Amino acid sequence: MVTIEIDGIELKVNNGSMLIEAADEAGIRIPRFCYHKKLSIAANCRMCLVEVEKAAKPLPACATPVTEGMKVHTRSPKALAAQKSVMEFLLINHPLDCPICDQGGECELQDVAMGYGGDVSKYAEKKRVVREKDIGPLIATDMTRCIHCTRCVRFGDEIAGLRELGATGRGEHMEIGTYISKAVSSEMSGNVIDVCPVGALTSKPFRYSARAWEMRQYESIAPHDCIGSNIYLHTRRGRVMRVVPRENEAVNETWISDRDRYSYEGLYSADRLTVPMMNVDGEWRETEWDTALEAAVSGLKDVVDHSGAPQLGALIGPSTTLEEMYQVQKILRGLGSDNIEHRLRQRDFSDQDAAPAFPWLGTPLAALETANAILLVGSDIRREQPIAGHRVRKAHVAGAAVFAVNPVDYDFNFALEHKLVVDPRRMTSALAAIARHLVTITGATNPAGLDKLVQSPEYDTAARAIAERLRQAGRSTLLLGASAINHQNFAAIRMLSALIAELSGSTLGYLSDGANGSGAWIAGAVPHRGPGAQAVQTSGKNLAQMQGSGMAGMLLVNCEPDLDLAEPQSTMQMLKKAEFVVALSSYKSPALLNSASVLLPITPFSEMPGTFVNAEGRWQSFEPAVAPMGEARPGWKILRVMGNLFDLSGFDYMSAVEIRDELQKLVGDVAKDNSLAWRAPEAGQIDGGTLVSISDIPIYSVDALVRRAPALQKAQKLLGPGFRISAALARKIGLKDSQEVKVKQGDREARIAVEIDDRVPESCVWIHADISDASKLGAGYAPIVLEKA
C-alpha cells in the first residue's frame, strides 16, 4: 500500500495500481475514453491527463502508477487545461450531429463534452469523413464518429481472442476496420458496441429504434446457456428493445455472448403463440383459456384412465425455468407417471443411475480461469458456451495448457497444446488411452476392463502428453461438452472422464444443455429421480425408452420436437401415434401444429418470473420485464391451474417465489459431486457403416428463441450450408467443393452440396443440425452413406 493524495484527499492504494484506478475507487471522477478496466492500457486518448506535482507535464492517469507521497490534482487549472484541450481536439473532426446519432443520450463523448467541451468550435476546416464499413449483420458502423480509442481493437485482441478489427492508416487517416472487408465472426463481437464510447459501433438490429431515455431497464438472466449471463433488458412501451450485459464478475464479468445479446428479436417473431389453440377434427382453432385448459386436462386424464399413468410422459426443454420444471414433474408424478425428461439431445442413458445428483461444472465459473490445464472432451466450447469459452481462453492466456478430445478440429480462440481429433467411434478409445497412461504414471491399480478399451496406439504420444500435463498441473479440469454428452457412448465417455479426473487430480465438469440443464436434475425433471435428486419408487421412462415404446399421452413444455431433440424422426412418430399431446409453447411451431392436440401459450423469459440454475450451481432468479404478449401466461400459472384441475394437492401457489422456495427446501444442500466409482464401461459401438455423421447444434440454433432471431440467423448463414467433409474423403468419392452428393441415412435420402473442410476426420461427415437438410435424415452420430450424385 502507498499513500497518495488526489485533490487533497489522502488515499491508501495498492502498490502498482494506476492513478485512475485509485481515483475510481475513491469516487473521484477523471474523464476517459480509451481506458477500460478489462482492457490493456493504451493511454492514447489523453483525456485523463492530470497534474502530478513534480512532473513537468500533465500525466495520463490511466498509465501513471501510483508512488508513495504522490500528489495529484485532477481539476487544477493545469489539469483542466489539458483535459479541455484534448476534448477540443476530439471534437474537431467528430460530427456534432448527436440528434441523429444512435448513441445520442448514452454517449461517453457527449457526456464528457458537457463538462469539458467548449460551446463554440474554433475549427473552421473541413471535417474528416470515413467511408462506411459493413462488418456483418450484428454491428452497425459509422466510422466517421470514431475517436480512435482502440477499445474495440483491444477487445478483439485481448478478450475475444480474434484480431478482427485493427487500426489501418496513419495520423488523421487512421481508420478502424477489418482491413479486408469481412463480417466479424467472434461469438462475443457485440461487446464492442458497449466498449465503443461513441456512436461508431452500434447494434444493427436495434439501431434507430429507441432512445436511451425512452427505455426502462430490467435485470434479467440470459436464457440460452449454462452460464446464465446477467443481463439488462431495455424496454419501451412493453416491448424488449435490446439486451445489454449486467456486470457480474463471478459470472459473465462485463461481457455477454452475441447469442444472449441478439436473441431478444425472437421474442417478437410472427409465429408467437398468443392465444390458446385446440385441434378440433384436424383443424386448429383459437379458444378461451378455460376451454383450452379443460380440454388439455381432460385429454391427459383420459390417457391416464384408459392407458394408465405409465403411458403419460413429459418432455421439457432444458431452458425452462426451475419453477416450471418442478411443477411439470409434480403433476406427472401426482398422476402416477415418472416419465419426465429434459435431456432432449442425449442418446445414451445407460448409466443414468450412476449420474451425479447435480451434474455441474465441477468448479466455480470464475475459477476456470485459474486452472493450469484444461481438457475439453467433446466440446466446441466457444460456440456451445461462449462465456465459459472465454474463461478457458483467459486460463490459456495466463499460461494454462488446453487440450481437446474432439470429433472435429474446432477453431478455438486459444491454442491447443495437444489434441486428439478423432472419429466419434474412437472417442472412448482416445480417452481410455489417456486414462491408461495415468494408471502408469500414478502407479494406480489398473481398473478392470480399461485395457480392453484402448484400441488406438496412434493416440499414444498426445495421450501420454495430456496425461502427464493434467497430472502435473496442480489445478486442472475436464469439461464434458455437447458432443460428449449427446454421444451414443456417453456412459463410457463419462466413466473414462471421471477416471481421468480422479487419477490426475482434476475436477470434472459438465457443460450442460440450455439455461437450466443442470438445474433440471434438482428440479426432478428426470425419470429416475425426484426433486432434490431424491430416489423415486420406480424409475420412469427416459427419452430413449419413451421413443422406443411409444406413449399414449404427452406433455411438451418449451420444446420444438423436430429441432430440440436428438432423434427428431422417432420423436415425431411417437407424437403422431400418441392419442393426446398438450404443448406449452411460446411459438406456433410447425412441428407442434403437426403433432399436438392443444397448444397453451406460455410466456418467454422476458415476460415472467423464474429461476435458472447455472452450471456452477448458482440460483439466479429474474422478474418479468414486460407484460405477457396477448393471452400468453407464465408457465407456472398455467401449470398451477392444471395441477388444480387434475385435483392434485399442493398447487395453490400465489407466486413463482413460493414454488422456488418449496423446491429449495427439497433440494437443501444437494451434493455437488461429479465423481464416479469405476465400473468398466461397455465399449459400445456405433453400428455398421464406414462413414459416421457428426451432428452438432450450431451456435444460433440451440433453442426456439434463438432460431427466431433474424440478425443471428443472418450471422449463422455466413457459416455456410453446414455439410462438411474432408478433402481426402471428397477425393475418394470424386467430389469437388460445393458439389452435390447423394446422402443416405436409413431409408431416407437427400441431395446436398458438400463443403470441403479438413477439420473433419476422413471417416466422418460433419453436419450442422438445423442448417443442413441432412439433419432431417436422421439422428447424428449414426452411419451415413455418401454416393456421387
By CB under 8 A, name the binding residues for another protein.
41-47, 49, 56-58, 60, 63, 65, 82, 85-86, 88-90, 92-93, 122-126, 128, 147-148, 167, 169-174
| Closer to another protein by Cβ: residue 62 or 277 | 62
Q: Residue type for 23, please?
A: A
> What is the rounded distance in angstroms from the CA atom of residue 189 to the CA atom of residue 409?
22
C-alpha cell at 384: 456451445
Name 200's Cβ contacts closer than 8 Å, sequence gap at least 6.
141, 142, 143, 144, 145, 146, 147, 176
| Helices and strands (H, E) in the chain, number of each type | 24, 33
Where do runs of H (alpha helix) occur along 517-562?
519-523, 543-549
CA dihedral 317, 321, 324, 325 (to 10 degrees): 60
Taking CA atoms, 228 is separated from 565, 610, 611, 621, 664, in Å, by 22, 12, 10, 10, 19
- Smallest separation (angstroms) from another protein to the CB of 449: 50
C-alpha cell at 697: 447444434
C-alpha cell at 538: 420406480
201: left (phi over 0), alpha (psi -120 to 50) or beta: beta
Q: Residue 774: phi, psi to the nearest 5?
A: -60, -25
Q: Residue type for 360, please?
A: W
- Smallest separation (angstroms) from another protein to the CB of 89: 4
Angle among Cα 486, 516, 293 to the nearest 5 degrees reads 105
| Closer to another protein by Cβ: residue 86 or 140 | 86
Q: Check: CB of residue 378 under 8 Å from CB of residue 407.
A: yes
Task: Indicate the SS3 state at residue 786.
Answer: strand
- Smallest separation (angstroms) from another protein to the CB of 110: 17
| Closer to another protein by Cβ: residue 176 or 304 | 176
C-alpha cell at 307: 392407458
Name 133's Cβ contacts closer than 8 Å, sequence gap at least 6.
141, 143, 177, 178, 181
Q: Check: CB of residue 362 under 8 Å from CB of residue 477.
A: yes
> What is the rounded distance in angstroms from the CA atom of residue 511 to the CA atom of residue 479?
7
The total of other beta-carbon atoms located within 10 Å of residue 76's CB is: 15
Strands 610-613 and 619-622: antiparallel
- Smallest separation (angstroms) from another protein to the CB of 199: 18
Task: Indicate the SS3 state at residue 430.
Answer: helix
392: left (phi over 0), alpha (psi -120 to 50) or beta: alpha
- Smallest separation (angstroms) from another protein to the CB of 40: 11
